[in-house]
A = this chain, B = another copy of it.
Amino acid sequence: MSDDLFAAVVANTAVRGQTDDAAVVTVMLRVESALASAQERVGDLDADAAEAVRKACVAAADVDLAALARDTALGGNPVIPLVAEIRRLAGRHADAVHHGATSQDVIDTVLMIMSRESIGTIAGELDRAAASLDALVSDDRLVMGRTLMQHAVPLPLSTKIDGWRRGLADVARRLRAVASSLPVQLGGPVGDGSTLGEHPDDVRAALAETLGLADAPSWHTVRLPVADLASALATASGVVGKVALDVVLMAQAEVAEVREAAEGRGGSSSMPHKSNPIAAISARASARRAPHLAAHLFAQMEQEHERAAGAWHAEWSALVDLLRATGSACWWLAESLTSLEIDLDAVERNR
């Protein structure tokens, strides 16, 4: 089933391809494969077994997605049926698959990897948006300052736009800092590592290194990495929303200080004369999804004992949606700002 039509406005981002079913399966297999390698390195698996697991993970990439989704509903997460499939493919080395790990280890690690990669995309769009402002800020003329939506006193246009740019750069920095701190999750059934051989910390460190994640003790029900993502993503969307709103306000007919000049964009089904700043509008629409998705993730932090009965499951799609919403907000804003034309006569006239 696809949801591409509405996503074209509020999830218009390469993050979608980094977080859809195909990506989830690919990254789950990467984690299972890396786990075997880590265990081989530490001496918990012999070379044959580890190689068998890695090969089974490659073969499992052809897994029937529809069957996987159906079986996901039976056990409550997609790891259970995928591990069954890898085990089938691993033949006599079945026991080496997912060895000592639990479903949550895999899903949480997958979410961290997908988040790190998505943030790469998102921060890149923020860079593009910020860079596009360089040309605009060279001008030192004055623009009317507006407080409480009323005329106040003029300020340099460069100061106004520099405020936008600093905000965009700041949130890109925050996002990258969070991305680089995202930890692996590996603790076994109840998070204490007791099923992970004699050196569970070494296995975890090796897994983290292989996957390019930070190493950290099991955080299975203390959800700080998810909270950090929620925080940084909602903050980024907030800054994007501010800039997009300013663009929309300055594009009003009576103000007319800016317009989006993008070929083929911004038409109307009923009014052909209109030219809507559709990129800034879509950036706002996308950004507005973030606060409530973040609240949802914060609200799910109240997780029972060693694995939550619902709050954990409720995180998955919300985190994905938040990555996509923020990615979409940033892409649209970059589209808006790179196409922005400032009418300096209007700026002067309104002063």
Contacts and interface: CB of A to CB of B under 8 A. Distances in A.
B316 A274 contact: no
Number of this chain's copies in the complex: 4
Interface stretch (A45-53, A88-96, A203-211, A303-311): A303-311
B269 A281 contact: no
Interface string A69-81: 1101111111110
B103 A268 contact: yes
A288 interface: yes
B65 A2 contact: yes
8 contacts: A80-B267, A146-B305, A147-B307, A163-B222, A234-B295, A238-B302, A252-B252, A281-B313
A108 to B, nearest CB: 13
Given A2-B2, A149-B249, A290-B298, 6 more contacts: A3-B21, A98-B269, A147-B271, A223-B238, A288-B300, A292-B292
B293 A73 contact: no
Contacts of A339: none
B171 A5 contact: no
A119 to B, nearest CB: 15
Interface stretch (A34-42, A121-129, A131-139, A185-193): A185-193
Interface residues of A, number: 148
A276 B76 contact: yes
Interface centre among A20, A150, A171, A274 (most CB of B within 10 A): A150
A336 to B, nearest CB: 12
Contacts of A98: 269-270
